[in-house]
Structure 1
Amino acid sequence: MSPSLPALRAGLIRGRIELRQMLTTPQDLWNTVLPSLIFVVVLFFTRGSALPGADIALGSRTLPSLVGMTVVSTGVMTMAMSLTIEREDGTLLRAKAVPSGMVGYLVGKIVLVAAMTLVNILIFLVPSVFVLDGLVIGSVSGWLTLSWVLVLGMVAILPLGAILGAMMTNPRTASGALMLPLIGLVAISGIFYPITGYPEWLQTLAHVFPVYWLGLGMRSAMLPDSMAAAESAGSWQHLETFGVLGAWAVAGLIVAPIVLRRMARRESGSSVAARRERVLQRAI
């Protein structure tokens, strides 16, 4: 039997256990779903506000952006912070000591973060379908588009979060170091404001990263075809969306294991003890 199969099963079990622990711990559950509950309130109060020059509610235009941003923020921040924290407390060192343990660990984290992302999205997506006007997500093509964009988007984003988490060494500074660039990337990627209002060089930069294409795919799944005119190419560009997200997914799946293996090789009992000693000194 291939050693990767037991590691895969162990990772799936690990992810299920961590997910159940998160869902049954009130504080963890509250911290996880709070942003989505805030989104529900925002969408409710913007359901009657129309976009200037468009026959669609502001909340309907915002919904796809919130879905895309949830995939990006949860996939990058949660994955990266988990790796950083568990590297410091010795969890990664224990995983390294088990045969194919890093594979199982990574699979478990992917299962956990992907499930957290879906839970967060469903919290505000399900009521929005019934409350907001102008959405076309109720159609079969809309659900199919939403499904493949969501799956491919998570496959493209989650390895990126793992790579960034493996590069961070201090969980107390990692959040700020990741959050500011992530906010800037979201800002230029048309998540909340069409990039057609930006300079051409900034539009070109936005097209390089998966965030823009994830948001574009979400808008194509939920909004009527008439809204495609507001996009930079005047169309939904499904083929380009599949190509760019697929390229990022392939690159991430190739690079992430390499980065994680290199990080694991540098882990030792002495390095974990040294980090704990520094934490205790700062606490004193």
Structure 2
Amino acid sequence: MSPTMAAVRAGVRRGGIELRNTFSNVQDLWNYFFPTVALLVTMFFMRGATVPGTSFSLGARTLPSALGMGLAFGGLLGLSQQLIVDREDGTLLRAKATPNGMLGYLVGKIVLLSTVSLIGLVLQLTPALFFLDGIRLTDGGTWFTMAWVVPLGLVATLPLGAVIGSLIENPRNMGLVVLPIFGLIALSGIFYPINGYPGWLQAVAQAFPIYWLGLGMRSALLPDGMAAVELGGSWRHLETFGVLGLWAVLGLTLAPVVLRRMARRESGSRVAARREKAMQRVV
């Protein structure tokens, strides 16, 4: 077996171990389930409102968008936060010290976060079916669309999360990333159609993967007639595939370069300095 394949297999095993650990950690479980409960409560109270110009439930329209938002949020912020924490406590330095350790580390994190994202999607979608009308799951086109939108969305966002985590050294600076992402969520039609926005705001929203993940999930789970309230009056599958694919290529191109540079800078003295600063913040 080649060293690369051995590192990939080790990474998959590492991801499985971390997955078991995270589901036995009360704090992690709270972090996973509280957003799910908050989203479902929000959808429940939105079920009576309707999409402007239609009789379709605004809650049912928002749920697929929120599922796409969750995938993007997990990819962009989940991996970046993991990298920042692991760099501060020396986990990355230990990975760097083993042959192909960074590759195994990255594969493990991708396995962990992809699985958590998929479990979160199921946990959010299943209960909502009982109180939201209009969500379709029996159509073969639903499963086909989700089969390419979900993995492509993860590939488009996880490498970008790795790039963000590589560039931010202090966990306290995550606000510099979180606030712009929340701003993009507000612009991306997750909770309300963006047709009424000025043209330049629509262009900004469509430049980033959050909008297209929301659109892709809506195209999978909503009736075809709901495409009429979207920009262009269609689901724009080709554009969705193209934009998410471009972000995936960009992330896969940048992430290895940025991660290698970050790993080269890691040393015992840098880890010790970070740990000392962290202790000073606690004190």
Q: With structure 1 as the length reference, what TM-score do the two structures score? A: 0.96
- Give the C-alpha shift of residue 19 in structure 1: 0.5
Structure 2: which amino acid aligns with 1:205? V
Q: Which residue of 2 aligns with 1:182?
A: 181
CA distance in 2, matches of 1:238, 1:99: 41
Deviations 1:120-149 (A, max 9, x none): 111110122343211223211012112211
Partner of 1:149: 149
Maintained 8 Å contact 1:37/1:123: no
- Could you tell me which residue of structure 2 aligns to residue 261 of structure 1? 260
The residue correspondences of 1:1-284 to structure 2 (distance < 5 A) are 1-174=1-174, 176-284=175-283
Q: Structure 2-normalised TM-score?
A: 0.96
Structure 1 contact 129–137 (Cα < 8 Å) conserved: no
Tell me how far apart the structure 2 counterparts of residues 31 and 113 of structure 1 sit (CA, whole Å). Answer: 13
Structure 1 runs (4+) deviating above 6 angstroms are: none
Moved more, 86-95 or 74-83: 74-83
CA contact (8 A) 2:47 2:132 kept: yes
- The worse-fitting range, judged by mean Cα deviation, of 41-50 and 184-193 is 41-50
The alpha-carbon deviation at position 43 of structure 1 amounts to 2.0
The structure-2 alpha-carbon separation of the partners of 1:51 and 1:282, relative to structure 1 and needing over 3 Å to count, comes to closer
Count of equivalent residues? 283
Q: Structure 2 counterpart of 1:158, which letter?
A: L
Question: C-alpha distance in 2, partners of 1:152/1:168?
Answer: 25
Letter of the 2:66 partner, please give it. L
Asked whether the 8 Å contact 2:62–2:192 carries over to 1, the reply is: no
1:37-69 residue CA offsets vs partner (Å, 9 max, x unmatched): 121222233333333421211211111111011
Residues in 1 aligned to 2:112 and 2:176: alpha-carbon distance in whole angstroms: 23
Residue identity matched to 1:225: D
User: Distance in 2 between the 1:111 and 1:40 partners?
Assistant: 26
Deviation at 1:225, TM superposition (A): 1.5
Unaligned runs of 5+ in 2: none
CA RMSD of aligned residues (A): 1.3
Question: Are the equivalent residues in 2 in contact too, given 1:93–1:269 (CA < 8 A)?
Answer: yes
Deviation per CA, 1:89-121: give whole Å up to 9, x if none.
100000000000000000001111111111111
SS at match of 2:105: helix
Per the alignment, do residues 71 and 8 of structure 1 end up closer, same or farther by CA in structure 2, a change over 3 Å counting? Answer: same
Fraction of identical pairs, as percent = 57
